[in-house]
Structure 1
Amino acid sequence: MDTVLRVLCVDDNRDAADSLSALLTIAGFTVHTCYSGHAAIAVLDEFCPEVCILDLMMPGMDGLELSRRIRAWSAGRHIPLVAVTALSDEAARRTTSQHGFDLHLTKPFDPDQLAALVVDIVILRGCS
């Protein structure tokens, strides 16, 4: 059984995506970074992410549409989805919740906080 959590990190801002991916890699996770929703869809079958961290405001395919497609791809398996966005109002939080996101983090967020949340997911995965 694979014990390293596979995290898909999707953000059209390459610096933000690469920085977050580097942090999660240092924390011991296997990370695949994509810079668009379409690129993320293309790697789902091969990478099989166990957690997805998605920027909401991307051109082409936004994070809401990407979350819908990931949920359809997962065929009933629960893959935690983390929204990262500059939108912090209650309406944005309600929207991400309605689209199946498990967490809503507002940019800029503390990368250590996100790494800790991913660790919590690992712990919960081990308890189920």
Structure 2
Amino acid sequence: MENSAGQHRILVVDDNQDAAELLQMILEIEGYRVRVAFDGASGLRQAADFRPHVTCSDLNMPGLSGFELALAIRKSDHSSGTHLIAMTGLDTQENFSMMMASGFDVHFCKPFSLDEFTNHLRSFFTTIDTR
């Protein structure tokens, strides 16, 4: 891939290990640097170490939920500027309100279109690369 995708860091946080690893593979094929965490607490530690440009998080996870993870990331010194993408199977108005209040920038309802998702990432990175 002839662009700066290899410099772009994406963190995927999902307690569904298969889904997280599948998304990791797809994003790595696209040329991104990707790390995966399988719970919110691990995701927060990964964010501090990896400093992702984008963090994709499931919402309903045991322990630290995606909502709590987003709030913690937004308050952090290390990753407060990350582009937060919620990935959820529950597309309800209540979840949407909680996502926005937690600091998510956008959400994708599972199962989502990989084309839409990767197009969103390309658009986001094009925007930050041209600043």
**Could you tell me the TM-score, scaled by structure 1's length?**
0.91
What is the Cα deviation at residue 48 of structure 1? 0.9
- CA-based RMSD of the aligned residues comes to 1.9
For residue 113 of structure 2, what is the aligned residue in structure 1?
A: 110
The C-alpha deviation readout for 1:15-64, integer Å capped at 9, x for no partner, is 10001111111011100011011111222232111100000000011000
Partners of 2:6 and 2:33 within 8 A in 1: no
For residue 12 of structure 1, what is the aligned residue in structure 2?
A: 15
Partners of 1:20 and 1:111 within 8 A in 2: no
For residue 89 of structure 2, what is the aligned residue in structure 1?
A: 86
Output the CA distance in 1 between the equivalents of 2:75 and 2:90: 25
Cα distance change on mapping 1:7 and 1:75 into 2, 3 Å: closer
Cα distance change on mapping 1:24 and 1:74 into 2, 3 Å: farther
Residue-pair matches, total? 128
For residue 60 of structure 1, what is the aligned residue in structure 2?
A: 63
Structure 2: gaps of 5 or more residues: none
Structure 1: gaps of 5 or more residues: none
Q: Secondary structure at the match of 2:76?
A: helix
For residue 43 of structure 1, what is the aligned residue in structure 2?
A: 46
Cα distance change on mapping 1:41 and 1:127 into 2, 3 Å: same
Partners of 2:11 and 2:52 within 8 A in 1: yes
Q: Which amino acid aligns with 2:34?
A: V
Cα distance change on mapping 1:48 and 1:62 into 2, 3 Å: same
For residue 71 of structure 1, what is the aligned residue in structure 2?
A: 74
What is the Cα deviation at residue 90 of structure 1? 2.1
What is the Cα deviation at residue 77 of structure 1? 4.8
Output the CA distance in 2 between the equivalents of 1:93 and 1:77: 20
Aligned sequence identity (%): 31
Q: Secondary structure at the match of 1:25?
A: helix
Q: Which amino acid aligns with 1:82?
A: I
Q: Secondary structure at the match of 1:52?
A: strand
